[in-house]
């Protein structure tokens, strides 16, 4: 069932694979469309969609480059971005290793338990010895394999003269195993293999849950720099052009930027008039007209006519690279945030060690003999083992993030929920965050025929307005008319012929009415206005945030007038025309006052602010870089997931605190019992498992939190 699309055999050696992120995949129909339609194009052998990761792997002819594949995906109606080879590879490997270890530990636990149960129910003599030997035979390889993540981490900590949660775990497991082995060889009555393996199984379950959470995080900076043009056509003194890689460019060089090309460095336009798409840097969706003397930045896309540009800043000095650097630094300061589980374990591990050592020393002094003293010390180590603590946080976070995902919010990182819960002030960007961000065409006044012609023209252009118009029309189920001889004239528009009549999408004659385009069919003209509407539940979301004690304000890089209009409408304070640096400074100022700001933004200019904020959320339409800098991404046209995220995060932290309180209460009862030798390692292992199950059950209550 559901076999992968068969790749043609034979010529496979000549094919290459490229991977794209396709955030627009929403349903089975999207998977079917991509996997069925793409291989029909010449040069594409197979396409395979990964729905969970929102990625598509395409096997194709090396002659087809990335931009043509992106174009092919766009023709199917999906925005796509090529992804670097495998940024998630390391995380992914880590999770797989943990899952494999968990499987092995589960196998070992069940089989050893089977043997142990028969020993407890009265097997003795030769049978008991045989069962002990069998248990040892299963337990030793299982412990060696499944225990590796803990042993490795404990060893690392000890080598740096530190201690962590894994040190008592490792000592407990190794001591229990060694003692059991001694008992088995000596033909003694007690072996504790099942305790050791059960311990590993439950600890691994916690770790695997945690890793599954972290898996959602991705490399931050790579995608950003990937948007910059990778090479440029440099014009030599003799007028010839040659391609040079972006890293080899020097300030002062003259480069030729063709229409549709991304700029590889910052510079000043010397010759030519065109429009550039600067959405990446400013978040403004309208194309910006440029002419001689205009300053242009790396990452901008030249839309219509070729430009000659004198370079001013290259490589690491470009505005884009500067933003990437700011994001990197801001993100690093945040990574110093200490997760609640680590804060607990820092206090916990030394206490456990001392208690176990004290128990051993105390019983030796009391004359109990080294064997019994050791058994008691092991029981202390196992019963205090932080399984419930290890599960307290990841179990609650996995359940909460699953509940949020069903409501359209993807939380990328476990610590994000902790930070979201602490936010007390929200800063929101305007374009693309409070508003939808993409120009929506008002096509209500057009007839069916006019819509078809408009789509026939608009779908051929990469101009943002054309794309917005085409997207609106496609959504309404319009079939494009067959428009031939289409020409795109820079700054003027598109012209073509439909059934012998000249048709055009062009700049309206009076430019004073905001974003609009004029559809001309023969001699009749229709103005199509574009608006960037407010998200429908923006006011409700702000009210919900206020109800939770989170005050909101607008922090935008847009022009003052539209920002103020919006702020008045929503009753918020607003800061307009803020540069990326100014946004970053505003956040730092808030943090210096002891506030915990939540940043919600989408533009690349929000990148540093997103990375610096205590917690941050980006819409699914944001640039890739912003999505990666943010802690969470919400999908769809509603803003409500933002308020929901804060609400669920707070509930999650309440559950986490309950879990911790339970784990501490459990230890307060169990540790004295173990210290006084009233608990065997087996009872310790069972008590510990029960406490873990209670914690997981408590966390499952969160599944309903987002409803």
Which sequence positions are flagged as catalytic? Answer: 429
By CB under 8 A, name the one of 107, 145, 151, 337 that touches another protein: 107
565 CB neighbour count, 10 Å cutoff: 11
Nearer of residues 118 and 551 to another protein, judged by Cβ: 118
76 binds another protein (CB under 8 A): no
Q: If you search the block for the tokens 């496609």, which residue do you land on? A: 474
Determine the Cα–Cα distance for residues 506 and 79; give it in Å rounded to an integer: 25
Structure tokens at 15: 């094919």
Nearest to 624 by CA among 128, 49, 140, 225: 225
Contact track, another protein, 37-56, x by CB under 8 A:
------------xxxxx---
Exactly one of 76, 110, 235, 305 binds another protein (CB under 8 A); that residue is: 110
Closest CB 666 distance from another protein, rounded Å = 31
By CB under 8 A, which span of 130-138, 241-249, 651-659, 660-668 interacts with another protein? 130-138
- Considering the complex, state which of residue 114 and residue 244 has its C-beta at the smaller distance from another protein: 114
Task: Tell me: does residue 100 bind another protein (CB under 8 A).
Answer: yes
CB 408 within 8 A of CB 634: yes
Do residues 611 and 331 lie in contact, with contact meaning Cβ atoms separated by under 8 Å?
yes
**144 makes contact with another protein (CB under 8 A):** no
Tokens 């008039």 correspond to 273
**Least Å distance between CB 196 and another protein?**
18
Tokens of 368: 């109990």
CB of 503 to another protein, least distance (A): 29
Q: Which two tokens stand for residue 627?
A: 């999505």
Question: Closest separation between CB of residue 686 and another protein, Å?
Answer: 21
Strand stretches in 297-344, DSSP E: 301-302, 307-313
In the complex, least distance from residue 28 CB atom to another protein, rounded to whole angstroms: 4
Which of 665, 616, 659, 1 minimizes the C-alpha distance to 393? 659
Q: What angle do CA 99, 32, 67 make, to 5 degrees?
A: 90
CA angle 166, 169, 174 (to 5 degrees): 120
Q: What x-and-dash track marks residues 267-306 binding another protein by CB under 8 A?
A: ----------------------------------------
CB of 141 to another protein, least distance (A): 12
Q: How far is the CB of 329 from another protein (least distance, A)?
A: 34
Compute how many other C-beta atoms are within 10 angstroms of the C-beta atom of residue 370: 10
Query: Alpha carbon of 92 to those of 96, 210, 276: distances in Å?
Result: 6, 12, 38
In angstroms, the first-to-last Cα distance of the chain is 34
The binder of another protein chosen from 6, 9, 10, 27 (CB under 8 A) = 27
Nearest to another protein of 10, 29 (CB atom): 29
**374 lies in the site for another protein, by CB under 8 A:** no
Does residue 121 interact with another protein by CB under 8 A? no
Size of site (CB under 8 A) for another protein? 25
Q: 326 and 642 in contact (C-beta within 8 Å)?
A: no
Tell me which stretch binds another protein (CB under 8 A): 24-32, 170-178, 423-431, 581-589: 24-32
| 8 three-class SS | coil
- Round to whole Å and give the CA distance between 225 and 662: 47
Region 625-654 residues binding another protein, contact defined as CB under 8 A: none
Q: Which is nearer to another protein, 35 or 288 (CB)?
A: 35
User: 3-class DSSP state for residue 280?
Assistant: helix
Q: Can residue 148 be called a binding residue for another protein (CB under 8 A)?
A: no
- Among 9, 28, 365, 511, which residue interacts with another protein (rule: CB under 8 A)? 28
For another protein, the closer of residues 36 and 559 by Cβ is 36
Among 12, 14, 16, 32, binds another protein (CB under 8 A): 32
User: What is the rounded distance in angstroms from the CA atom of residue 95 to the CA atom of residue 208?
Assistant: 6
Residues that bind another protein (CB under 8 A): 1-2, 27-29, 31-32, 49-53, 96, 99-100, 103-104, 107, 110-111, 114, 127, 130, 134, 138
């Amino acid at each position: 069932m559901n076999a992968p699309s068969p790749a043609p055999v034979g010529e496979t050696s000549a094919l290459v694979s490229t991977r794209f992120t396709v955030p627009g995949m929403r349903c089975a129909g999207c998977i079917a469309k991509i996997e069925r339609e793409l291989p029909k194009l010449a040069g594409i052998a197979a396409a395979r969609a990964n729905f969970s990761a929102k990625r598509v792997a395409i096997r194709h002819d090396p002659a087809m480059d990335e931009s043509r594949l992106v174009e092919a995906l766009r023709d199917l109606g999906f925005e796509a971005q090529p992804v670097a080879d495998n940024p998630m590879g390391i995380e992914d490997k880590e999770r797989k290793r943990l899952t494999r270890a968990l499987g092995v530990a589960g196998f070992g636990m069940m089989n050893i338990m089977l043997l142990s149960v028969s020993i407890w129910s009265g097997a003795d003599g030769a049978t008991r010895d045989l069962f002990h030997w069998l248990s040892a035979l299963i337990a030793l390889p299982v412990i060696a394999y499944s225990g590796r993540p803990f042993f490795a981490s404990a060893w690392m900590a000890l080598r740096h003269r530190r201690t962590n949660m894994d040190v008592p775990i490792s000592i407990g497991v190794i001591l229990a195993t060694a003692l059991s082995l001694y008992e088995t060889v000596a033909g003694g009555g007690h072996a504790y293999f099942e305790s050791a393996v059960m311990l590993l199984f439950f600890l691994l379950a916690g770790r695997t849950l945690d890793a599954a959470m972290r898996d959602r995080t991705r490399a931050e900076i790579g995608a950003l720099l990937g948007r910059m043009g990778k090479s440029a056509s440099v014009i030599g003194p003799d007028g010839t052009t040659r391609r040079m890689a972006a890293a080899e460019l020097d300030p002062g060089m003259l480069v030729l930027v063709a229409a549709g090309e991304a700029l590889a460095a910052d510079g000043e336009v010397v010759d030519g008039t065109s429009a550039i798409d600067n959405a990446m840097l400013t978040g403004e969706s309208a194309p910006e007209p440029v002419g001689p003397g205009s300053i242009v930045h790396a990452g901008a896309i030249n839309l219509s006519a070729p430009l000659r540009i004198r370079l001013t800043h290259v490589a690491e000095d470009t505005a884009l690279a500067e933003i990437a650097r700011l994001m990197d630094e801001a993100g690093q300061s945040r990574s110093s945030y200490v997760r609640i589980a680590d804060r607990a374990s820092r206090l916990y591990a030394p206490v456990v060690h001392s208690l176990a050592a004290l128990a051993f020393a105390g019983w030796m002094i009391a004359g109990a003999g080294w064997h019994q003293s050791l058994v008691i010390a092991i029981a202390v180590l196992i019963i205090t083992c932080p399984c419930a603590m290890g599960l307290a946080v990841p179990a609650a976070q996995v359940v909460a993030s699953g509940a949020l995902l069903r409501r359209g919010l993807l939380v990328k990182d476990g610590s994000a929920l902790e930070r979201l819960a602490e936010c007390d002030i929200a800063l929101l960007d305007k374009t693309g965050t409070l508003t939808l961000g993409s120009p929506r065409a008002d096509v209500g006044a057009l007839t069916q025929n006019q819509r078809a012609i408009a789509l026939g023209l608009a779908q051929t252009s990469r101009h943002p307005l054309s794309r917005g118009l085409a997207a609106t029309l496609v959504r309404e189920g319009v079939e494009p008319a067959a428009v031939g001889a289409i020409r795109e004239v820079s700054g003027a528009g598109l012209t073509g012929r439909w059934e012998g009549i000249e048709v055009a999408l062009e700049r309206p004659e009076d430019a004073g009415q905001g974003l609009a385009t004029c559809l001309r069919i023969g001699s009749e003209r229709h103005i199509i206005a574009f608006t960037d509407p407010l998200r429908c539940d923006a006011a409700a979301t702000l009210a919900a945030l206020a109800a939770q004690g989170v005050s909101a304000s607008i922090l935008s890089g847009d022009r003052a007038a539209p920002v103020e209009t919006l702020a008045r409408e929503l009753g918020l304070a607003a800061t307009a025309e803020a540069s990326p640096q100014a946004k970053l400074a505003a956040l730092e100022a808030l943090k210096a006052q002891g506030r915990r700001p939540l940043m919600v933004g989408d533009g690349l200019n929000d990148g540093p602010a997103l990375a610096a904020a205590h917690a941050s959320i980006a819409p699914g339409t944001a640039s890739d870089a912003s999505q990666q800098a943010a802690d969470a991404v919400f999908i769809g046209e509603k803003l409500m997931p933002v308020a929901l995220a804060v609400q669920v995060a707070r509930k999650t932290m309440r559950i986490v605190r309950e879990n911790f309180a339970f784990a501490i209460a459990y230890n307060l009862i169990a540790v004295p019992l173990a210290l006084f030798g009233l608990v065997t390692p087996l009872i310790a292992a069972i008590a510990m498992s029960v406490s873990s199950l209670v914690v997981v059950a408590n966390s499952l209550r969160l599944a309903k939190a987002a409803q």
